[in-house]
Structure 1
Amino acid sequence: MPKILAGLIITFVCSSAYAQSWEVGARMGGAGYMGDLNTNNPIKLSGVSAGGFVKYNFNPYLSAKLGYTFGNINAADSLSSNQQFRDRNLSFSTNLHEASLTGEFNFLDYVPSVSKNVFTPFVFAGAGLVHYSPTTVYAGDRYDLRQLTTEGQGTPYSKMAVAIPYGAGIKYNFSGRLNLIADIGYRHVRTDFLDDVSGNYPDAAGLNNPLSRALSDRSGERTGVYLGTAGTQRGDNRRFDTYFFVGLSISYTFITPKCYY
């Protein structure tokens, strides 16, 4: 009985030692968003993304990941299939800088070069911060929309917002301790100004900057007929925007087995 108990303890310690491992990786892919200029296509890519991460694997199923991702999202009403959007004629581009801490759950026992499983699907969720600052091109020049308060805000909105990442993917141990990871992750972000569009058109007379007036209502740039009457709908009136990253990562897992007999 003591020998059996000792064997079970050694087995547990060895498996735990293998599971407790660090992992580093880099990723590249695409980025997209849903908001006031894209209201109904949750998989529309509009830019690129890239980043890196450090992960700690507590066991073959659970891990915590600290990551940074850069992405670009953009949209233009002029390219929409919706006539109402084309008439509105707004556009934006935003660079996203996201730092996040997420937890991952593997559906299968997965330790590269150790487990019998060479792949596993997984899900993840967590929290993060994203830096954003929408811009647009007008008369051949690019302008920072945040400072122009195009909806008549008393002060510019914050450049930082809380983001809630969640998503799913699949990992494949293609060689030794190297992993190929494909995933898609959405971000519920606590701002409605990723695209500088949120609610209603302001009273143009209250916008002291001529550039603010020009970029608040761009509907008449081609037709000469401006549609942005004060108080009428400019955005989709949803409280928050959403963005997502999709891509491929390559990571390396550091495994240091320490089993003493």
Structure 2
Amino acid sequence: MGLIKRALIICLLLLTLPCLYLSAQDEDEYKMELGGALGGSFYMGDANYTTPFKDLGFAGGIVARYIMNPRMAIKGNFTVGRISGDTKNFKNKYPENGEASFKRTIFDLGAQFEYNFLGYGTGYGFRGEHRLTPYILGGMGFTFAPAPAEGIFTVNFPIGVGVKYKLARRINIGCEFTMRFSMSDKLDVTNKEGLQLNDPYRIKGNGLKNKDSYSYTVFFITYDLFSKCKECNN
């Protein structure tokens, strides 16, 4: 009788193993993420050369990712941010001891390539994916800063780092820091009179030299969309 019991238990285990294997393979994967981001923005330029997070303003926007595989993704963003600066009590001396301050809203539309240091997923699949991973990113975008003094439209090149966490099967949260190097030196020009922060020393720069940049630090939440074809997940 004991032998029959053992045989039945072994048979049940053997029958269960393929089911466990199939359930691991059947872990859903998705093609895209869509969500939002909120945080802060700051500027670096003629009114702030060296101090990150100075005059921090509000930033928020929409985030979308195309998931290439557990380690790589293409991200698109549309972000609105508020930047400002003030040369009062600034260590640098401007021509004729001039002073200037500015505030303006910038709109950013861009795309970046993301690389996860760890394979990203729920952690339940057969490939040993991780719920938490740091990542790096780089790409290209467009910056639009409407008047007051002059409307600006320019190209920017973002680089950054972040961390993401799979909160639930289809919900992702994370934090991201990016620095966006623009091709314009006029993001801080909002007045037509007085000291002009557009090249105040009359030093011309090539490429990214002597240009304005800005940064976003945001917390995001996204939702997975469009399940991948399981037969194609090899």
- Length-normalised TM-score, structure 1: 0.67
Residue-by-residue CA offset, 1:133-167 (whole Å, 9 max, x unaligned):
46xxxxxxxxx222xxxxxxxxxxx6200011110
Task: Report the CA distance between 1:88 and its aligned residue.
Answer: 2.2
Mean CA deviation greater in 52-61 or 173-182: 173-182
Gapped regions of structure 1 (runs ≥ 5): 1-10, 135-143, 147-157, 198-210, 219-230
Asked if the contact 2:79–2:107 (Cα under 8 Å) also holds between the matched residues in 1, the reply is yes
Corresponding position of 2:221: 250
Structure 1 segment 92-241 matched on structure 2, within 5 A? 92-112=102-122, 114-115=124-125, 116-133=129-146, 144-146=148-150, 159-196=152-189, 212=192, 215-217=193-195, 233=201, 238-241=209-212
**Structure 2 CA distance for partners of 1:125 and 1:83, relative to 1, 3 Å:** closer
Identity of aligned residues (%): 24
Asked if the contact 2:173–2:221 (Cα under 8 Å) also holds between the matched residues in 1, the reply is yes
Task: Report the CA distance between 1:44 and its aligned residue.
Answer: 2.6
**Structure 2 CA distance for partners of 1:112 and 1:59, relative to 1, 3 Å:** same
Q: Give the secondary structure class of the aligned counterpart of 2:211.
A: coil
Asked if the contact 1:124–1:166 (Cα under 8 Å) also holds between the matched residues in 2, the reply is yes
**Structure 2 CA distance for partners of 1:128 and 1:94, relative to 1, 3 Å:** same
Corresponding position of 2:9: none
Structure 1 segment 16-31 matched on structure 2, within 5 A? 18-31=28-41
Q: Distance in 2 between matches of 1:232 and 1:104?
A: 37
Say whether 1:44 aligns with 2:54: yes
- Length-normalised TM-score, structure 2: 0.74
Q: Which amino acid aligns with 2:131?
A: V
Q: Which amino acid aligns with 2:215?
A: F
Task: Report the CA distance between 1:20 and its aligned residue.
Answer: 4.9
Q: Which amino acid aligns with 1:174?
A: L
Residue-by-residue CA offset, 1:196-245 (whole Å, 9 max, x unaligned):
29xxxxxxxxxxxxx84xx2349xxxxxxxxxxxx983789753111000
Asked if the contact 1:170–1:183 (Cα under 8 Å) also holds between the matched residues in 2, the reply is yes
Asked if the contact 2:78–2:107 (Cα under 8 Å) also holds between the matched residues in 1, the reply is yes
Coordinate RMSD, CA, aligned: 3.1
Mean CA deviation greater in 38-47 or 169-178: 38-47
Asked if the contact 1:36–1:236 (Cα under 8 Å) also holds between the matched residues in 2, the reply is no
Mean CA deviation greater in 88-97 or 251-260: 251-260
Residue-by-residue CA offset, 1:107-126 (whole Å, 9 max, x unaligned):
10112464541100001111
Q: Identify the structure with the greater strand proportion.
A: 2
Q: Which amino acid aligns with 1:239?
A: N
**Structure 2 CA distance for partners of 1:194 and 1:233, relative to 1, 3 Å:** same
**Structure 2 CA distance for partners of 1:191 and 1:84, relative to 1, 3 Å:** same
Task: Report the CA distance between 1:45 and its aligned residue.
Answer: 4.5
Gapped regions of structure 2 (runs ≥ 5): 1-21
Residue-by-residue CA offset, 1:91-113 (whole Å, 9 max, x unaligned):
11121111101111111011246
Corresponding position of 1:84: 93
Task: Report the CA distance between 1:74 and its aligned residue.
Answer: 0.4
